[in-house]
Copies of this chain bind each other. A is one copy, B any other.
């Protein structure tokens, strides 16, 4: 974990990234387990390029790691990010978040991926 001193502007950047329903759900899902891009397109019923653009923003902030395996790219929260420790705490503040994410995951789980 990098020892970067955070200022309010950087904190606001994190909130801004999390201020979108799709990205907030992505982050909450990755906070549980590794995901691949097709998980997101499935769960959010969203086009693959749209998901990819959101991932690009997460990457730009340094929030995620990628691990390639076979066809798939597995995404997870980057432990070296200065935001890494904040994320689970922010997620935990959201009421009923576990139930929401669970239903998101189970409602679209696919046997052939992840």
Binding site for B on A (CB under 8 A): 5-9, 11-21, 23-25, 28, 86, 89-90, 93-97, 100
Contact = CB atoms under 8 A, between A and B. Distances in A.
A90 B96 CA distance: 16
A89 B93 contact: yes
- The A contact surface, by secondary structure, is helix
Given A93-B89, A93-B90, A94-B86, A24 B6 contact: no
A86 B91 CA distance: 11
A89 B95 CA distance: 12
Contacts of A13: 19
Contact of A19 (B6, B12, B21, B94): B12
Contacts of A20: 12, 16
Contacts of A15: 15-16, 18-19, 24, 90
Contact of A11 (B8, B9, B89, B94): B94
Nearest to A100: B8
Contacts of A21: 8-9, 12
Contacts of A16: 15-16, 19-20
